[in-house]
């Protein structure tokens, strides 16, 4: 009788010990699988990295930097654009269009800054401006880069505005600049205050040499349009304009807002 009473507690203790071992083993296996899973997530490629406590998002510093520089360009701080581009891409003049999306943005920013500085970027040894030939070379470089970017995205109204603005800086390209910008204006796709200003200047210059007895009402209409474009340019200064810039965006925007003017964001250059 006594031996039976003694044996039962011993069996209970053994059962409890076995259960504790199984629990510890189960916890250990769970911990191992958790560590293995975390390791696999850490090794997996992507824009985000997972860990036990949260998620880390990778940020492309090149894109973030280009956005800051573009902000300077939109605010008219052209010398700051040149300084920042040359500090990060000292040999920007030798970069070819199409290398990658960030390089394309860098070329666009630098080309527009050079144009808006009249071909005389300061403290830029690769862009000397001591002579008229140097200035013309700088403007030709800017035009060539913007032309190449536009050739890759020929339904992009933003790039067409950029190219038209650059072409207007050289008298030999005035006719081409007017055709580009006037076509955009007729379709209400001028997205830049500077493009409107250049179009106004070009239209006024085209009418200046026409005798009044020939131009008549057409000449007066041209002057009115030029004044209207100049007014639109003034109203757009310092404001970000989001408009449809290619056929796909235009179609999507019209489908989303039937009967209203289409509005779409400009996609990254690629």
Residue 238: exposure state from Cβ atoms within 10 A (0-12, 13-18, ≥19): exposed
| Rounded Cα gap, residues 127 and 114, in angstroms | 9
The per-residue pLDDT for range 117-141, each reduced to its tens digit, is 999 999 899 999 999 999 999 999 9
The mean pLDDT of the chain is: 74
Task: Give the pTM.
Answer: 0.61
The per-residue pLDDT for range 194-229, each reduced to its tens digit, is 998 899 899 888 865 555 545 555 555 555 555 555
Is residue 46 predicted with pLDDT exceeding 50?
A: no
The per-residue pLDDT for range 108-120, each reduced to its tens digit, is 999 999 999 999 9
Residue 96 burial (CB count, 10 A): 10
The per-residue pLDDT for range 149-187, each reduced to its tens digit, is 999 998 899 999 999 999 999 999 999 999 999 999 888
Residue 57: exposure state from Cβ atoms within 10 A (0-12, 13-18, ≥19): exposed
The per-residue pLDDT for range 224-260, each reduced to its tens digit, is 555 555 555 555 555 545 444 455 555 655 565 554 4
pLDDT computed for residue 36 by the predictor: 52
Q: What single string gives the DSSP state of each residue in 63-132? A: HHHHHHHHHHHHTT-HHHHHHHHHHH-TTGGGPPTTS-HHHHHHHHHHHHHHHHTTT--TT-TTS--SSH
pLDDT class of 193 with cuts at 50, 70, 90: confident
Dihedrals φ, ψ of 241, to 5°? -105, 125
Query: How many angstroms from the chain centroid is the CA of residue 161?
Result: 15
Is residue 40 predicted with pLDDT exceeding 60?
A: no
Beta bridge partners of 55: 50
Q: What is the DSSP pairing of strand 48-50 with strand 55-57? A: antiparallel
| Rounded Cα gap, residues 92 and 42, in angstroms | 36
Residue 102: exposure state from Cβ atoms within 10 A (0-12, 13-18, ≥19): middle
Which helix or strand (DSSP H or E) is residue 215 part of? helix 212-236
Is residue 266 predicted with pLDDT exceeding 60?
A: no
């Amino acid at each position: 009788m006594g031996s039976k009473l003694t044996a039962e507690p011993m069996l209970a203790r053994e059962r409890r010990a076995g259960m504790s071992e199984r629990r510890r083993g189960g916890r250990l296996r769970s911990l191992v699988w958790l560590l293995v899973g975390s390791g696999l997530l850490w090794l997996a490629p992507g824009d985000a990295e997972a860990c036990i406590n949260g998620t880390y998002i990778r940020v492309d510093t090149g894109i973030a930097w280009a956005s800051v520089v573009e902000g300077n360009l939109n605010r008219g701080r052209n010398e700051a654009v040149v300084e920042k581009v040359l500090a990060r891409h000292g040999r920007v003049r030798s970069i070819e269009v199409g290398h990658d999306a960030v390089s394309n943005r860098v070329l666009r920013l630098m080309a527009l800054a050079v144009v808006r500085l009249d071909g005389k970027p300061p403290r830029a040894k690769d862009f000397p401006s001591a002579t008229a030939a140097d200035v013309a070379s700088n403007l030709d470089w800017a035009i060539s880069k913007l032309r190449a970017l536009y050739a890759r995205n020929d339904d992009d109204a933003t790039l067409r505005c950029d190219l038209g603005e650059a072409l207007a800086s050289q008298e030999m390209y005035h006719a081409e600049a007017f055709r580009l910008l006037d076509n955009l204006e007729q379709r209400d796709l001028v997205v830049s205050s500077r493009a409107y200003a250049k179009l106004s200047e070009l239209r006024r210059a085209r009418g200046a040499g026409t005798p009044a007895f020939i131009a008549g009402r057409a000449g007066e209409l041209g002057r009115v349009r030029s004044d209207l474009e100049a007014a639109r340019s003034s109203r757009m200064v310092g404001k970000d304009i989001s408009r449809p810039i290619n056929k796909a965006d235009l179609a999507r925007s019209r489908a989303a807002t039937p009967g209203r003017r289409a509005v779409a964001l400009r996609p990254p250059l690629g």
